[in-house]
Amino acid sequence: MINALNSRESNPLSSSLESLRDVISRHGLDARKALGQHFLLDPTITTRIAALAGNLSGRHVVEVGPGPGGLTRALLDTPASTVTAVELDTRAVAVINELALAFPNRLSVLEADALKHDLTALCPAPRHIVANLPYNVATPLLVGWLRQGSAWERMTLMFQQEVAERICAEPNSAHYGRLGVLSQWCAQCAIVMTLPPGAFSPPPAVWSAVVSITPHAAQPEPALFKAMERVTAAAFGQRRKMLRGSLKSVNGEALLAETGIDGTRRAETLSIAEFDLLARTHQTLSQKSAA
Ligand SMILES: C[S@@+](CC[C@H](N)C(=O)[O-])C[C@H]1O[C@@H](n2cnc3c(N)ncnc32)[C@H](O)[C@@H]1O
């Protein structure tokens, strides 16, 4: 279900704090393009995103890129046990440190590049990630978290809409590709909200969407994940080619013979279950040839 922005929910915490515009101006937090900074200043929207994360009671939330803290405030308004914010921009870290003074046992901030940091080390399970992601690094961040499997109970993440559509795309559709296969292989994925550019300050060039990502109970172990990365990179690297051509670099002939998948098909026609079979078979064949 996609949420429309028509409800006027109030955020009691936000209304008791200094306005986000004043915070931004006092800290000189003018948005920087290189950091993917498009801020959400409307508490109606941030409250809705926090609600889309589901029941956060007893959960530990990691927020990547809190910026001026609009979404952080909304998360603190939920029953989440703790919120740990990871931010690259020193100016925003100062803002969140200030906010943390009011929530000494619930909010902490780490100045770090989320791409280089193992976020699971920040809090115990059950863990959620909730974030309005910097779009320039959103895809590698997501793939890294998918690789960690069931370390995350759920991720509620804002992407640019086209990326959100790729994550949730079905076979035989224009957006179906490597990102969708990896995401849906590891998790249940659904677009739960869309937002126009004007919802952000400054507005990005494109629409945005929140995706709810709930990792499956059974998760691939690291070697199998690597096998899937290899198979999907080959298959979609040359997506217009038939599989018997595109899979050459991953021992395609043996792979297709072993799985019984027709080599004249193209990557975009394969289901997640067929990719799962290809990845498992690729792993077995690689183990045999290494033995
Ligand atoms: C789209 S803004 C979202 C800000 C805030 N959450 C909001 O909704 O208003 C992305 C945030 O991620 C931060 N950021 C960018 N790259 C980062 C990285 N590699 N690691 C951690 N934070 C990053 C930016 O400084 C910025 O605050």
pLDDT tens for residues 72-92? Answer: 999 999 999 999 999 999 999
Pairing mode, strands 208-215 and 187-195: antiparallel
- Binding-site positions for S-adenosyl-L-methionine read 38, 40, 65, 87, 113, 132
Ligand 1 pocket test, pick from 19, 33, 89, 139 with the greatest ligand atom count within 8 Å of Cβ, gives 89
3-state secondary structure of 108: strand
Q: What is the CATH number of domain 14-215?
A: 3.40.50.150
Give the domain ranges of the chain.
14-215, 222-290
CA of 72 to the centre of ligand 1 (A): 12
- Binding-site positions read 38, 40, 65, 87, 113, 132
CA of 37 to the centre of ligand 1 (A): 6
Residue pair 259/281 in contact by the 8 Å Cβ criterion? yes
Looking at the CA of residue 32, tell me the nearest atom of ligand 1.
25
Equal CATH topology for 14-215 and 222-290: no
Residues 6+ apart with CB under 8 A from 91: 27, 28, 29
* DSSP structure string for 48-86: HHHHHT---BT-EEEEE--TTSHHHHHHHTS-BSEEEEE
Q: What is the CATH number of domain 222-290?
A: 1.10.8.100
Q: Mind listing the pLDDT tens digit of every residue in the chain (291 residues)?
A: 344 343 334 445 555 688 999 999 999 999 999 999 999 999 999 999 999 999 999 999 999 999 999 999 999 999 999 999 999 999 999 999 999 999 989 999 999 999 999 999 999 999 999 999 999 999 999 999 999 988 999 999 999 999 999 999 999 999 999 999 999 999 999 999 999 999 999 999 999 999 999 999 999 999 999 999 999 999 999 888 999 999 999 999 999 999 999 999 999 999 999 999 999 999 999 988 887
CA of 15 to the centre of ligand 1 (A): 23
The string of pLDDT tens digits covering residues 232-264 is: 999 999 888 999 999 999 999 999 999 999 999
Residues with CB under 6 A from ligand 1: 35-40, 64-68, 70-71, 86-89, 92, 113-115, 132, 134, 137
